[in-house]
Amino acid sequence: MKEQLAAAGLASLKARACSSGCLDQCASGVTILVEPDHFFYGKVTLADVPEIVEALRRGVRVERLVLSVEDLARG
């Protein structure tokens, strides 16, 4: 993901990729927290990364990956 963010010109202040625990969303598999909008992508796969990076570049969300309030409550 870091390489694709850099290739899209998002590596500096616009996007930061770092390892973490499950962000209290263990049931959602691989999870990405997007700030400052404070929403989560869940069940992310490597195949999703190019779409996520393009969405970040365009300032939009990949709606099919956004965790709902119900998903977040389940953790």
| Count helices and strands in the chain by DSSP H and E runs | 3, 2
pLDDT (tens digit per residue) in 12-71: 655 667 777 777 888 888 899 898 899 999 999 999 999 999 999 899 999 999 999 998
Q: Which one-letter amino acid corresponds to residue 35? A: E
To the nearest 10°, report the CA torsion of 73, 37, 52, 20.
Answer: -60
What is the CB-side half-sphere exposure of residue 45 using CA atoms within 13 A? 2
pTM of the entire predicted model:
0.81
